[in-house]
């Protein structure tokens, strides 16, 4: 009879915490300016909004007053080559945040690149100034132009204001407006995401140094201590099979080993912050973890087979055995272009959502499970959020099967969500400067909503239906 192994230490996996390299600390005189200001007490652990620290309680996120917190928000990209949030050359940070609030949103997921932190270490502890960031990404002529435009719209900044100082100002303005800011590790190398070939797909892919990733998580977790609007952060966006390297063991075992190590890096630095944990195949699947299946044999799309798995002792992921058990929030994504998930009808979509991780909310199996026949119950109640989904921002929203099924699902089960995205244009994306994105809420110059009708009659009613708690 084979004995089972519950993962309470990472030595049961391909990645063992006991031999993960420690990230060297910066010498005190090399710490960034924001880091030198942090005292022993976190600003997000106070008697004022957001009444932190937040934690999980069964299927819910609760604040220090035991009030259930629900989020409805938007993604604001900052993981492109400039590594500065998009749109700041068109509007001030305060004006952009006011636009977000005008829809009723209370949450902003801000995708960043680990390269931001890598460059601070490469520069001996000094962050990259605004003008340098723009010129390196856009060239001298356009980089200088955009720098001047950003400063004109945000007169409190100069050419020497650094990336993290800009992000800090945005987080602090957001705090005054009751907006949560969620740092999301979107990519390792700054660029448009995501594909199997971009080098950011899986741990130790060509642009995804796992050691630097853990170092970056720790760095941002420390930065978050100084900003009360930052009560949560992600481990990694849309993990997927790498087509650049074929020796990386894309499977549940490697996922659990690396993500647990990432959670350790965050929690050891900032034990108060929530940690969002994404799944396999572009963050569509967390099924092996929510149902506590044997991670050596659990089904997984395009996963690397463990050929002798049936001869090994079973291995299970036990969230409750970790010090961050009450800090983990599962996150999932869904788009119509999914490679493997059936998105043809609402009943089938709901069954897929349940099977892939939303069963952790403790909800009843939806009717579509009679069609799919694959809806096991979760083994532990845990919050699950919909941190990304999207559509063109026009009248097609009203007829999109995926979009409207997600809307119905989140309203029915009070699921927090973040739509993709705020940005109607990008300084540079996939090599194209001043790229216009029809999936963004704003016009290309960020002066107004791209489609006022859908903002007023689709997004605002959806946000209102979530019954968000006011500050």
Percent of the chain with pLDDT over 70: 90
Do residues 355 and 287 make contact, with C-beta atoms less than 8 angstroms apart?
yes
pLDDT for the residue 47: 86
Classify residue 347 by its DSSP letter.
H
pLDDT of 71 over the 50 cut: yes
pLDDT of 57 over the 70 cut: yes
Distance from C-alpha of 52 to C-alpha of 43, rounded to nearest angstrom: 9
Q: Where are the alpha helices (DSSP H) in 239-300?
A: 252-269, 280-283, 287-290
pLDDT digits 0-9 by tens, 405-448 = 999 999 999 999 999 999 999 999 999 999 999 999 999 999 99
Q: What is the pTM of this model?
A: 0.92
pLDDT of 22 over the 70 cut: no
Taking residues 270-285, what's their average pLDDT?
98
Confidence of residue 164 (pLDDT cuts 50, 70, 90): very high
pLDDT for the residue 448: 98
Distance from C-alpha of 278 to C-alpha of 273, rounded to nearest angstrom: 16
Determine the distance from the C-alpha atom of residue 457 to the mean position of all C-alpha atoms in its chain, rounded to a whole number: 27
* Residue that has been written with the tokens 């509007």 in this structure: 91
Confidence of residue 6 (pLDDT cuts 50, 70, 90): low
**Buried b / exposed e across 292-311, counting CB within 10 Å, b at 16+?**
bbbbbbbebbebbebeebee
Q: Which residues contact 117 (CB under 8 A, 6 or more apart)?
A: 212, 215, 216, 219, 220
């Amino acid at each position: 009879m084979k004995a089972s192994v519950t993962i309470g230490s990472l030595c049961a996996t391909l990645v063992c915490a006991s031999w993960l390299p420690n990230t060297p600390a910066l010498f005190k005189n090399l710490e960034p300016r924001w880091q030198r200001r942090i005292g022993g007490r976190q600003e997000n652990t106070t008697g004022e909004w957001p009444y932190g620290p937040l934690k999980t309680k069964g299927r819910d996120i609760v604040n220090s007053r035991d009030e259930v917190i629900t989020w409805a928000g938007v993604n604001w990209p900052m993981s492109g080559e400039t590594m500065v949030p998009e749109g700041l050359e068109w509007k001030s940070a305060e004006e952009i945040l006011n636009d977000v609030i005008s829809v009723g949103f209370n949450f902003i997921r801000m995708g960043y690149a680990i390269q931001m932190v890598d460059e601070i270490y490469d520069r001996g502890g000094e962050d990259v100034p605004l003008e340098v960031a723009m010129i390196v990404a856009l060239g001298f002529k356009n980089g200088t132009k955009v720098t001047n435009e950003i400063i004109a719209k945000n007169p409190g900044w100069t050419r020497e204001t650094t990336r993290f100082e800009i992000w800090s100002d945005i987080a602090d303005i957001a705090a005054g407006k009751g907006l949560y800011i969620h740092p999301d590790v979107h990519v390792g190398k700054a660029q448009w995401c995501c594909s199997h070939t971009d080098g950011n797909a899986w741990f130790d892919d060509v642009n995804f140094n796992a050691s630097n990733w853990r170092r970056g998580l720790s760095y941002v977790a420390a930065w978050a201590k100084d900003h009360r609007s930052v009560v949560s952060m992600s481990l990694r966006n849309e993990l997927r099979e790498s087509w650049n390297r074929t020796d990386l063991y894309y499977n549940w075992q490697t996922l659990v080993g690396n993500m647990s190590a990432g959670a350790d890096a965050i929690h050891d630095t900032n034990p108060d912050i929530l940690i969002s944990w994404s799944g396999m195949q572009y963050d569509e699947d967390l099924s092996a973890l929510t149902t506590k299946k044997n991670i050596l044999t659990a089904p997984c799309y395009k996963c690397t087979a463990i050929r002798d798995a049936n001869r090994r002792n079973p291995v299970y992921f036990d969230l409750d055995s970790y010090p961050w058990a009450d800090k983990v929030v599962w996150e999932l994504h869904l788009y119509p272009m999914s490679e493997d998930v059936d998105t043809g009808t609402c009943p089938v979509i709901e069954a897929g959502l349940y099977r892939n991780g939303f069963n952790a909310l403790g909800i009843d199996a939806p009717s579509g499970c009679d069609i799919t026949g694959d809806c096991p119950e979760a083994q532990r109640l845990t919050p699950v959020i919909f941190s990304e989904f999207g559509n063109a921002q026009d009248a097609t929203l009203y007829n999109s099967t995926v979009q409207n099924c997600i809307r119905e699902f989140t309203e029915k089960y009070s699921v927090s969500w973040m739509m993709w995205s705020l940005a109607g244009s990008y300084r540079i994306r996939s090599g194209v400067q001043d790229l216009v994105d029809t999936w963004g809420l704003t016009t290309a110059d960020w002066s107004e909503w791209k489609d006022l009708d859908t903002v007023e009659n689709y997004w605002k009613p959806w946000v209102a239906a979530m019954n968000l708690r006011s500050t």
